[in-house]
Amino acid sequence: MTREQTAAQLLDVAGETFAAEAGITLDDKPAPLYRLLVLAVLLSSRVQAKLGTRACHELVASGFGTPERMRDATHDEVHDALSRGKFLSKDQTADALLDGAALVCDRWGGDLRRMRSEADGDTEALTGLLTEVPRLGPVGASIFVREVQAVWPEFRPHLDDKALDGAEAAGLPRDAHALASLVSADDLARFAAALVRAGLSDDVAEQVGS
């Protein structure tokens, strides 16, 4: 099987972005970008990805899908939504989400496209801005960039260590540019998610080439 065929199979088996799994229809608009930020915060915790995506889905369903609505929520409201999503570390995460929403509103006017403009195509600069958000460290920032490259193409290709680990598990090279050449540019975010899943699940890696 060629590398291109392996990449195509990965997309077929596991090529759903984590944003899509959380029910986010990603677009270059304030609300979906903010929801991706929330998802990145949740996935920064040491929890299974499914717990993070489920909790994000519950927060949005509970009406906290914009920074303004999150900022104006009470701690108990956010805590209860996280509880319904079966999320862990609910107290600290609720505080972080409230503080993060206030930061997004105050610093970027509730619109992360202003963060995009501030980063000016520099992934390192974008990562630095993202890590100003409470409970969003380098891992969470990388998750955000990995997913947002679907709608912010100037940050392509972004294939972080988790994606590269998955590439190795699937028998592909640990090189971002070599991997990016295997799929269309518009499929990079999906491919990155598939690679991450290949690194996290033996089942995914085993299905490729079977």
- Model confidence over 29-42: pLDDT tens digits? 999 999 999 999 99
Mean pLDDT of all residues belonging to the chain: 95
Specify the higher pLDDT residue, 98 or 44: 98
pLDDT tens for 77-123 read: 999 999 999 998 899 999 999 999 999 999 999 999 999 999 999 99
Higher pLDDT among residues 210 and 158, named by residue = 158
Where does the pLDDT of residue 27 fall: very low under 50, low under 70, confident under 90, or very high at 90 and above?
very high
pLDDT of residue 201: 73
Token pair for 90: 């609910």
The more confidently predicted of residues 137 and 48 is 137
Which part of the chain has CATH 1.10.340.30? 22-137
Are 208 and 9 spatial neighbours (Cβ–Cβ below 8 Å)? yes
How many helices and strands in the chain, by DSSP H and E?
Answer: 14, 0
Task: Work out the number of other CB atoms within 10 angstroms of the CB of residue 20.
Answer: 17
| pLDDT at site 208 | 72
Tell me which residue of 190, 111, 171 sits closest to 180, measured CA to CA: 190
123 close to 116: Cβ distance less than 8 angstroms: no
Topology of the domain comprising 22-137: Endonuclease III; domain 1 (1.10.340)
